[in-house]
Chains A and B, each alone.
Chain A
Amino acid sequence: MKELVEKIRKIFSDEKLELLIGYTKGTLPLRSTPGLIESADEADKLIFDFTCCNNLAKYLVDEKKRSGNTHRIGIIAKGCDARAVVQLVMEGQFERENVVIIGVPCKGVIDPSKLRKKLNGKEIIKFKVNRDKITLFGKNFELELNKNELFSDSCLSCRYPNAVQYDYFIGEPSEPLGVRDEYASVDEFEQKLPEKRWTYFEKEYSRCIRCYACRNACPMCYCEECFVDRSTPQWIGKGNDLSDTIIFHIVRVLHTAGRCVDCGACAAACPLNIDIRMLGKRIEKEVIERFGFTPGLDFETEPAMATFKENDKEEFIM
């Protein structure tokens, strides 16, 4: 942490940054909160560890909307944050030269919604880490878990734990956790009967309260006005009718197709533990297999949905 703070302090002044987006300690155990600091002096607030689950690229867009695109912003970037930054640059959301990407090695982050699920309504007051194990302490309970049980599903099969594009890299690059095969759960799910799959999605999405935390946590959702919020014409109903809700989730996935970097921010943000990632992951797989595109790796490759090949597969057309 000391290395981080010192290096950031130096980068802050070397790069004449006006803002740095990183993480600071949260108010609850195992939680961090995004920290936006405006001077090198504040750098000692910064942390980076397995609690840093939010995708910070989100804040670059917010910041641009708030104050224009003129000043230089630094950003602490895990692999997924960096990929989101790349994709956002490709989408013209800000200039590459106005962003200083500070790569950090990610060894997996805790998904707060998974943590809540494990605790089943209880809350903890402290925790202890011992290698791969973590012990959680509450007022009158104790729970030992494997860290992987709390890590975001995205992390368990993450291929890019380190920033792929960066200006600085602090620390030694991490190896992918490789706990899970990336598409195993999608493939397994796909084996189920269509009726079961539909029932599953209905059950998941029926919990949705349309709080849009998934959308708002997503670095790729930056529309001035989301299609769900449109009136004249009203694209979809605004109540919590299940068909409207499901359409919202389908279209969100369609809109992030070929752009989603699978950071897991959407799933982590959901207060109702909805399996938001399943459908997105399937589409990600399709984009890779069909169009050979993985978003956010470089600044040259044309994003999948912005281009085409004359010989794109079309077996689905009658």
Chain B
Amino acid sequence: MKTKDFEPKIMTFLCNWCSYAGADLAGVSRLQYPTNTRVIRVPCSGRIDPLFILKCLQDGYDGVLISGCHPGDCHYISGNYVARRRFAILKTALEFMGIEPGRVQFSWVSAGEGEKFSQVISKVTEAVKVLGPMRKLVKAANSLVG
């Protein structure tokens, strides 16, 4: 498959107070970024169970982006700090197993960083395009009809 033709599907989890607002700001500012992402809004990055991320990979999303408030900005005081530990462990595990680092990415995007949001989306999309379709961990087609 030529990477050029490949349009990955990327799931993003955005915290309501910062990154989702940053995504809104990117739109308000009419900053253009690739259409490959889909969005799940969560109250806080602390809400994200690592299993959500694994589930996305198993479903065949080619990449997952998790974005929350910068350290110190958390609307819920410390949700992102707790999440950061969880994510560090998940990322270590996945990369150790041989899942490409670009598949699951994390960022902090504040409500004022529309520009950063659009750049993050572009970067993640580009990185996943280079990686090609997700094959590892995807649930076998023969046991499930897609």
Q: Which residues of A contact B (CB under 8 A)?
A: 190, 193-202, 227, 235-237, 239, 241-244, 246-247, 250-251, 253-254, 257-258, 279, 282-283, 286-287, 290-291, 304-305, 308-310, 312-314, 316-318
- Contact, CB under 8 Å: B85 / A243: no
Known interface pairs A251-B51, A304-B85, A310-B71. Does A279 touch B93 (Cβ–Cβ under 8 Å)? yes
B139–A244 CB distance below 8 A? yes
Chain B residues with Cβ under 8 A from A246's Cβ? 137
Q: Which residue of B lies closest to A287 (CB)?
A: B89
Question: Would A198 and B88 count as touching, CB distance under 8 A?
Answer: no
| Pairs A-B, 5 closest by C-beta atoms | A198-B98, A197-B98, A308-B81, A194-B98, A318-B107
B95: chain A residues at CB < 8 Å are 194
CB pair A235–B51 under 8 Å, yes or no, is: yes
Chain A residues closer than 8 Å to B82, beta-carbon distance: 308
* C-alpha gap A254/B96 in the complex (Å): 13
Name the interface size band of chain B: 35 or more
If the complex has contacts A308-B81, A312-B85, A317-B84, are A196 and B105 also in contact, measured as CB distance less than 8 A? no
How many Å lie between the Cα of A195 and that of B95 in the bound state? 11
Chain B 45-68, CB-CB to A under 8 Å as 1, else 0, gives 000001100110010000000000
Compute how far the CA of A257 lies from the CA of B50 in the bound complex, rounded to whole angstroms.
Answer: 13
- A227: chain B residues at CB < 8 Å are 51
State A95–B94 Cα separation when bound (angstroms). Answer: 36
CB nearest neighbor in B for A239: B143
Interface string of B10-28 (1 = CB under 8 A from A): 0000000000000000000
Name B107-140 residues within 8 Å CB distance of A: 107-108, 120, 123-124, 136-140
A318 and B51 contact, CB distance less than 8 A:
no
B129 to chain A, nearest CB (A): 16
Q: Say if the beta carbon of B36 comes within 8 Å of chain A.
A: no
Does B97 interact with chain A (Cβ within 8 Å)? yes
